[in-house]
Amino acid sequence: MGAVLFFAKIFRIIILLRGKTMKLGVVGIIIERDRSVAEKVQTILSENADLIMGRMGIPDKDRGVYVISVIVRGTNERISALTGKLGKLENVKVKSAVTDSDD
């Protein structure tokens, strides 16, 4: 049953993406002061795992700043939704840069 649900989800994603321009980009996330929001950031990133190609986090504990860079591939709408959710979190700053993907 698990395999059937997996392939059904993949098929749904393919149907939804058909005809949409795929984007490739980087999302920069900076968490300042209160690190407790990091759990919410992680939850949002996990919910959008299908967009994420890779990520790297670098803490600057002396200054209380945590930087995460995330490489993403998806539709502009999905990437914008991800950055919008992250940007609404307190003490979190988000910037993104995207370009057309060759897909």
Classify each residue of 1-40 as buried b or exposed e, where b means 16 or more C-beta atoms within 10 Å of its C-beta. eeeeeeeeeeeeeeeeeeeeebbbbbbebebeeeeebbeb
**Domains by residue range for the chain, with CATH:** 21-100 (3.30.70.1150)
- What is the pLDDT, as a whole number, of residue 70? 97
Read off the pLDDT of residues 21-79 as tens digits, 9 standing for 90 and up: 889 999 999 999 888 899 999 999 999 999 999 999 999 989 989 999 999 999 999 99
- What is the pLDDT, as a whole number, of residue 103? 55
**Section 11-25 average pLDDT:** 71
Read off the pLDDT of residues 77-94 as tens digits, 9 standing for 90 and up: 999 999 999 999 999 999
As a whole number of angstroms, the distance between CA 35 and CA 61 comes to 10
- What is the pLDDT, as a whole number, of residue 8? 63
